[in-house]
Structure 1
Amino acid sequence: MAALVLILGIATSAGAQNADVTPGATGPGSVVRETHGAWQLSCRVPPGAREEKCALVQSVTADDRPNVGLTVVFYKAIGEDKKLLRVVVPLGVLLPTGLGLKIDGEDVGNAPFLKCGKRGCVAEVVLQDEVIAKLKAGQNAMFIVFDTPEAGIGIPVSLQGFSEAFAGLK
């Protein structure tokens, strides 16, 4: 799973580490502009910004553990041509193992958690074009968190509508 770190790249700037768990396009005042399959395109004008920002959002729970869920958010960095993936998981997950990702059963790798807050723990990465292409072509993603070193919990995320929704990011 270490390949995810290399393939996606890690967003470890001070801004990413100090950011709230919700990027500018989500949170209070956000409006769902469109729904594409399992994805919502959520938009708002972030504090201090002049333009509306949008993010793709999907919240899911583990099939066999309804108390373990996560929120997946794709968005573009403000003022940069970077596309980011932020995943918020519940408090209590094992942090050293990071967050794993598989797309249609193919191991993409893992990413470290950057911080934990009241709403959960955050993993965030800069997406490379190769991974975006896999997400657009894929049917299902599986995010993996651990509650013990031996016990991984796979949380399925539908990629239905992802390609269309991703085109709406601004």
Structure 2
Amino acid sequence: MRRTERLSLSVAAEAVVEPKRYGDWELVCKPQAASATPKAESGACRLQQAQAVNGGKDVVFLFNIARQGKQRVAIISTPLNVYLPAGLELKIDDGQTQRVIFETCNISGCHAGFALSGALLGALRKGNVLTVALKDTKATTIPLKVSLNGISAGIDALDAATP
């Protein structure tokens, strides 16, 4: 059994419009309520990439990008039973490693959120692979490879969908 198969992440099901694919990323939007104003629906879309095991049944990693007003934010969700003090290490291609901290854990997993702008955003748009390293409760490093294929077009579509 691969190490990632021992980790599982609960993903809540919600009503969404058919996701649009951008390379290895999906733009997922909630249906707009008939009475909702465009501002009320701001943030109703997210660009995401999930990694799953067991034939896609168990999500073990989820990377979401959303808009909060004019700012882009990223939320990385991992299963429970990770070593929280280590946080997550992000590395795009052969670039420098950046550390992000876990902000919270709940029944659906542990979550690290951060602003997505500047050099980090530029590197994601130009990069090929993002390596996200987390540690399990035995402090063993588990590297996860995230394809950046389609992320630039997906971010542009997210920006257009959430003015």
Q: So what's the TM-score if we normalise by structure 2? A: 0.76
For 1:75, the equivalent position in structure 2 comes to 66
Report the 3-state secondary structure (helix = DSSP H, G, I; strand = E; otherwise coil) of the residue aligned with 1:166.
helix
Q: C-alpha deviations, 1:78-105, integer Å up to 9, x for none?
A: xx21100000000000000101101013
For 2:110, the equivalent position in structure 1 comes to 121
Q: Structure 1 residues 49 and 110, CA, compared in 2 at 3 Å: closer, same or farther?
A: farther
Q: C-alpha deviations, 1:114-144, integer Å up to 9, x for none?
A: 1101110000001122111100100000111
Give the whole-Å Cα distance in 1 for the aligned partners of 2:59 and 2:82. 9
Pick aligned residue for 1:144 from 133, 137, 147: 133
Report the 3-state secondary structure (helix = DSSP H, G, I; strand = E; otherwise coil) of the residue aligned with 1:168.
helix
Deviation at 1:33, TM superposition (A): 3.7
Report the 3-state secondary structure (helix = DSSP H, G, I; strand = E; otherwise coil) of the residue aligned with 2:124.
helix
Unaligned runs of 5+ in 2: 1-9
Q: Structure 1 residues 149 and 59, CA, compared in 2 at 3 Å: closer, same or farther?
A: same
Once the two structures are overlaid, the 10-residue window that deviates more, 131-140 or 38-47, is 38-47
User: After TM superposition, what 4+ stretches of structure 1 lie above 6 angstroms from structure 2?
Assistant: none
Once the two structures are overlaid, the 10-residue window that deviates more, 158-167 or 147-156, is 147-156
Deviation at 1:150, TM superposition (A): 4.5
The residue identity in structure 2 corresponding to 1:37 is G
Deviation at 1:36, TM superposition (A): 0.7
Q: Does 1:159 align with 2:148?
A: yes
Q: Does 1:30 align with 2:16?
A: yes
For 2:37, the equivalent position in structure 1 comes to 50
Larger Rg over CA atoms: 2
Q: State the number of aligned residues.
A: 141
User: Equivalent pairs: percent with the same residue?
Assistant: 28
Q: RMSD value over aligned CA atoms?
A: 2.6
Correspondences of 1:93-108 after superposition (within 5 Å): 93-108=82-97
Unaligned runs of 5+ in 1: 1-20
- Contact in 2 for aligned 1:97/1:149 (Cα 8 Å): no
Pick aligned residue for 1:168 from 153, 157, 163: 157
For 2:6, the equivalent position in structure 1 comes to none
